[in-house]
């Protein structure tokens, strides 16, 4: 059994919800578009197929997509018999699949940086590096969960948007759900309001599934109910994930996040993002500089292939939006909770940030 497969077995023994893993030189992943009603495993035998799975949202979530970068480069090394140029080309392809997801780009770059040999030596190095990244990602989830739980009080009701959990990370709780899960495991009596998250319904399909598995009381709401819930006092805090944090603290996250943050500020409700240092992009000065991925309009006019609007209806689907740092109460990372001024305080940990 290869080292990367031994690691996977260790994760399974710990009952972690692995979104992607390696068996006999082939990648396997849970098709997240089929959850919660079917846990279908897709076999990924090529980097091209992995890219298709990322683009089609079969696997998603900033942490899980970052892990795809590590697995994808290892797979490329295997399939090309350790050809460094072909491995680098595979990395360029993977980075193009989700342009807003900085974790994917950074992980690919980190892997490709190690292509200093060829043949079996390169394959061995890619496997070793992938194992290192997988372990680091899981450690991040436990660490940021511990720090984030500090802001959760016994009895809190917490709202989250989209899915930032185990299937979107390394298996424990991803980003936001690492915070929520840790607080629950500490014995705090909490309740979670999860937004359904149109148009893919990640909140309804996957966040609710994981909260049920964790045994955390929760209530599903539609995205346009958050204003009502906050104004009526249903919500004490908001914790969301992140796909990129700019150098000034602006946040790129699932579209709808900005709307929730505005309402939170209007109702004096703390708004946190849970992320990792790997998601902080010091090469991006502000949210205005983040490329927002525009997805196919059919994803809005159709659901599961069925039309929900009249034929010919035009639609718009920006997959993410930008929440200004002025609306964010704190940035939860594996290094602690970063407070304002973000532009200064993010830089204070920059020497320890993995880039």
List pLDDT tens digits, range 33-72: 999 999 999 999 999 999 999 999 999 999 999 999 999 9
Are residue 108 and residue 172 in the same domain, yes or no? Answer: no
Are residue 228 and residue 292 in the same domain, yes or no? Answer: yes
Are residue 117 and residue 46 in the same domain, yes or no? Answer: yes
What does DSSP assign to residue 207?
I
Helix/strand/coil for 215 = coil
The pLDDT assigned to 12 comes to 85
pLDDT band at 352 (very low <50, low <70, confident <90, very high): low
Can you tell me the mean pLDDT for 97-107?
A: 93
Alpha helices in the chain (DSSP H): 3-13, 47-55, 62-79, 84-95, 102-112, 119-148, 176-185, 202, 208-214, 226-231, 257-266, 298-301, 342-348
The pLDDT assigned to 305 comes to 87
The pLDDT assigned to 156 comes to 98
pLDDT band at 101 (very low <50, low <70, confident <90, very high): confident
251-254 and 218-221 strand pairing: unpaired
Active site residue 289: no
Rounded to an integer, what distance in angstroms lies between the CA atom of residue 283 and that of residue 246?
8
Can you tell me the mean pLDDT for 83-94?
A: 97
Query: What domain range includes position 64?
Result: 3-142
- Per-residue pLDDT of 189-207, as tens digits, reads 999 999 999 999 999 999 9
pLDDT at 353 over 80: no
Rounded to an integer, what distance in angstroms lies between the CA atom of residue 223 and that of residue 236?
17
Question: Buried b vs exposed e over 249-282: b needs ≥16 C-beta within 10 Å?
Answer: bbbbbbbbbbbbbebbbeeebbbbbbbbbbbbbe
The model's pTM: 0.94
The pLDDT assigned to 354 comes to 39
Are residue 21 and residue 136 in the same domain, yes or no? Answer: yes
Q: What is the DSSP string of 63-103?
A: HHHHHHHHHHHHHHHHHTTS-HHHHHHHHHHHHTS-TT-HH
- Per-residue pLDDT of 217-262, as tens digits, reads 999 999 999 999 999 999 999 999 999 999 999 999 999 999 999 9
Of 99, 125, 142, which marks where a domain is finished? 142
Cα-Cα-Cα-Cα dihedral of 314, 292, 91, 69, to 10°?
Answer: -100
- Per-residue pLDDT of 147-183, as tens digits, reads 999 999 999 999 999 999 999 999 999 999 999 999 9
pLDDT at 350 over 70: no
pLDDT band at 355 (very low <50, low <70, confident <90, very high): very low
User: CATH code at 124?
Assistant: 1.20.120.420
Are residue 245 and residue 223 in the same domain, yes or no? Answer: yes
pLDDT at 100 over 80: yes
- What percentage of the chain exceeds 90 in pLDDT? 91
Of 142, 158, 187, which marks where a domain is finished? 142
Closest CA to 198 of 307, 101, 61, 317: 317
Are residue 80 and residue 216 in the same domain, yes or no? Answer: no
- What percentage of the chain exceeds 70 in pLDDT? 98
Average pLDDT, the chain: 95
Are residue 213 and residue 95 in the same domain, yes or no? Answer: no
Q: How many domains does the chain have?
A: 2
Can you tell me the mean pLDDT for 105-132?
A: 96
Are residue 7 and residue 81 in the same domain, yes or no? Answer: yes
Q: Which of 156, 236, 243, 281 is an active site residue?
A: 243
Can you tell me the mean pLDDT for 298-315?
A: 94
**Does residue 192 or residue 305 have the better pLDDT?**
192
Give, to the nearest 10 degrees, the angle between helix 102-112 and helix 119-148: 140
């Amino acid at each position: 059994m290869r080292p990367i497969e031994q690691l996977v077995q260790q994760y399974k023994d710990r009952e972690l919800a692995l979104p992607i893993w390696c068996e006999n030189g082939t990648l396997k992943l849970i098709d997240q578009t089929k959850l919660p009603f079917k846990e279908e495993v897709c076999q990924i035998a090529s980097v091209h197929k992995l890219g298709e799975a990322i683009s089609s949202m079969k696997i998603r979530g900033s942490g899980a997509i970052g892990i795809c970068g590590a697995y994808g480069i290892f797979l490329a090394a295997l399939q090309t018999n350790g050809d460094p140029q072909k491995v680098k080309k595979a990395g360029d392809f993977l980075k193009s699949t989700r342009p807003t997801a900085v974790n994917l780009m950074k992980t690919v770059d980190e892997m490709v940086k190690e292509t200093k040999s060829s043949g079996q030596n390169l394959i061995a190095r890619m496997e070793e590096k992938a194992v290192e990244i997988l372990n680091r990602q899981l450690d991040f989830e436990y660490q940021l969960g511990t720090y984030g739980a500090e802001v959760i009080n016994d009895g809190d009701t917490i709202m989250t948007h989209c899915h930032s959990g185990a299937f979107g990370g390394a298996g424990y709780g991803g980003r936001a759900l690492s915070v929520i899960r840790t607080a629950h495991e500490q014995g705090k009596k909490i309740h979670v309001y999860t937004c359904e998250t149109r148009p893919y319904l990640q909140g309804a399909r996957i966040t609710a599934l994981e909260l049920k598995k964790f045994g955390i009381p929760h209530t599903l709401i539609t995205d346009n109910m958050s204003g009502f819930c906050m104004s009526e006092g249903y919500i004490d805090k908001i914790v969301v994930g992140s796909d990129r944090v700019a150098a000034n603290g602006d946040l790129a996250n699932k579209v709808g996040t900005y709307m929730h943050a505005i309402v939170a500020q209007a109702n004096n409700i703390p708004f946190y993002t849970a992320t990792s240092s790997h998601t902080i992009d010091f090469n991006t000065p502000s949210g205005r500089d983040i490329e927002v991925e525009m997805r196919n309009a059919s994803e809005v006019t159709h659901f599961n292939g069925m039309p929900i609007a009249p034929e010919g209806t035009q639609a718009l689907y920006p997959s993410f939006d930008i929440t200004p740092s002025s609306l964010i109460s704190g940035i939860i990372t594996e290094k602690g909770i970063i407070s304002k001024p973000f532009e200064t305080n993010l830089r204070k940990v920059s020497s320890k940030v993995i880039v």
